[in-house]
A and B are shown apart, each in its own frame.
Chain A
Amino acid sequence: MTKKFYLNRRIWKRRLVGLALLVITVISIFPIATTILVSFKQQADITRKPPVIFPCDTPEQKFDIKACRWSVEGYQRVFAPKPDEGSLFGFKFTGNLLRIYIPNTLMYAFSTAFFVTLLASFSGFAFSRYHFRGHNALMAAIYAVTGVPLLTNILALYQMSITLRKNVGFFDDRMFLVFVYLGFFLPISVWIAKGFFDTIPRELEESALLAGCSTLGALFRITMPLALPGLISVFLLTFVNVWNEFIVAYLLVTKNEYKPAMFGLYDFLSQNIINLQVLAAACIIIAAPIVILFLFARKIFFKAMVEGAVKG
């Protein structure tokens, strides 16, 4: 009897924990869910007073699933499709978000993530394998740099960009922005990369060196492939960080055709203060690629996060 009671209590405890987690998850997803709902409403339902959650009410009934007035007006206004004979589907998207801002963001994020991964793997390898004079001091210095906030350096970088724009002919906002991102996300990536290299046994390299491989050859043929999962997580983390970054681009980019998506979204905010469905649609369009990427590569993200945060 006693044993059964104990078991029952355990089962109930587990059910309660499951229920609590379910409630917490629903609450934390709620803001996103409402945004998706808003993005599919019509202008007429947006400006109704009092606001309704589902645009499904009729004069007779409070909720009628058949009377729902869903629309893609918000998305239409973001994409702004115009008929065009030459393109594949008979129309092309003329909205700035899809035409300019998102390609820019992709370009910034890819190039920054590529260079960060490359440089971080070089110096992470060096810090992991060699013990030269000043090794620990240099590592600590690089860690200390991660604490310098973007915002304090941005004053000087802003002045730098003004001076360079005046005096250097080939100066390009995009190049400068990628370089600044590179400097901002490199220090923590060096630490994460070093952590990954530390886990690879150096006997593998030593045997390659004994077999006549050069040091660089051992790095590229043996160590890099083994560290690849870790380096991919560095790449993804940087990619997401650049994709989500706003203030640096906002202050450093001057031309409309160089703006990244977050900057473009901020423009949407000032233009569409009443058209909530347009704002919500723009939010969903910009956030969706990153969320989908996260859902597929969850383990890789967690690995880099824990490596960077707990160890670093």
Chain B
Amino acid sequence: MRSAKPRKPISYHLRKSLPFWLILPTLIVIIIVQVYPALYTIWLSMQARHATGWEYVGTQNFERLFGTGLFPESVGHTVIFLTGYALVTLTLGFVIAILLKQKVPFTGVYITLLFIPWIIADIIAGLIFRLMVTPDYGLFSGILQNPALFPPNGLSILTAARPAPWFGSFPFPPSPAMIYLILAASWRALPFITLLILAALQTVSHEVMESARIDGANLVQLTRYITIPLILPTMVVALFFLMLGGINGVGMVFSLTGGGPGTTTYVISYLLYVIGWGQLRFGRAAALALLIAAVNWLLILSVLRITRINDRSR
């Protein structure tokens, strides 16, 4: 008589399904905190709040959002902010990384000190910069409010109005507060970008540089034709990181300018906060959140393409 086919021991099943059990908690958390809220936001963007509850209004939230003057203005501010932020940070980051690569004495000390701004919270960084220019009492207010330097009344960065726009309703030139906000944000992002570029510079092979130098290339030519092309992919990745951080970062606007003076430093993420929690129009805020998320997704997909992440994980 044939004995019954022995069942596989339970440990075998466990071992086969082990990766599933290891990943499951992570997936549950991500689904609850990231995926479900994303779907909820899509639903919310088509609802409006009424006394009795939510009501389906279709695309009305989007239409109302585009209809307000504040939305195009905030988009303009965001474009200006991102452009200035990326320009300042990438240029200075490149220069500092090149200097750090020369390996002069105390480079380690310089790197440590240069990185302190990166570790400081955005809300504290905003406050630190605010303290320096607080009207009347800030350290620089004496210089900034000097009528001889900034006629006619002297300039207080946090309250000076925006100059008249040059191109229709596009908010350019920006208000002094916006320029200051860009400087403060760049101060905080600079260390991270410098480190990225420095890491890329270390991979530029010494032989290539040496052979170009023997062929008679000078420093400018070396930088222009060898260094920059070789680190360009990293620069592009750094640019995307800056864009992501710049679009989503709101802490510094909170503590440095509070959106003011007037609405001249309303960036799009701050507008989301104002519509959602200031005006309590959650449907319209959800519509705006979807737009921001769409831009984020485009950026992330570009990073995925550039770094070819799918090839690496194989």
Contacts and interface: CB of A to CB of B under 8 A. Distances in A.
B122 A25 contact: no
Contact of A151 (B99, B105, B196, B269): B269
A265 B254 CA distance: 12
Nearest to A244: B121
Interface residues of B, number: 96
Interface in A166-212: 179-180, 182-184, 186-187, 190
Interface in A117-176: 119-120, 122-123, 125-127, 129-130, 132, 135-136, 138-140, 142-153, 155-160
Contacts, number: 276
Contact of A24 (B112, B114, B137): B114
B220 interface: no
B100 interface: yes
B134 interface: yes
Interface string B11-28: 100010011101101100
A22 to B, nearest CB: 8
B195 A279 contact: no
A46 interface: yes
B85 interface: no
B196 A126 contact: no
Given A31-B187, A156-B41, A147 B299 contact: yes
Interface residues of A, number: 98
Interface string B30-54: 1011111110110010000000000
B33 A287 contact: no
Contacts of A13: 102
A302 B112 CA distance: 10
A153 B26 contact: no
B23 A148 contact: no
A149 B296 contact: yes
Given A46-B137, A276-B137, A190 B26 contact: yes
B244 A147 contact: yes
Interface of A: 13-14, 17-18, 20-22, 24-25, 28-29, 31-32, 34-35, 38, 46-51, 53, 119-120, 122-123, 125-127, 129-130, 132, 135-136, 138-140, 142-153, 155-160, 179-180, 182-184, 186-187, 190, 214-216, 240, 243-247, 251, 262, 265-266, 269, 274, 276, 279-280, 283, 286-287, 290-291, 294-295, 298, 301-302, 305-306, 309-312
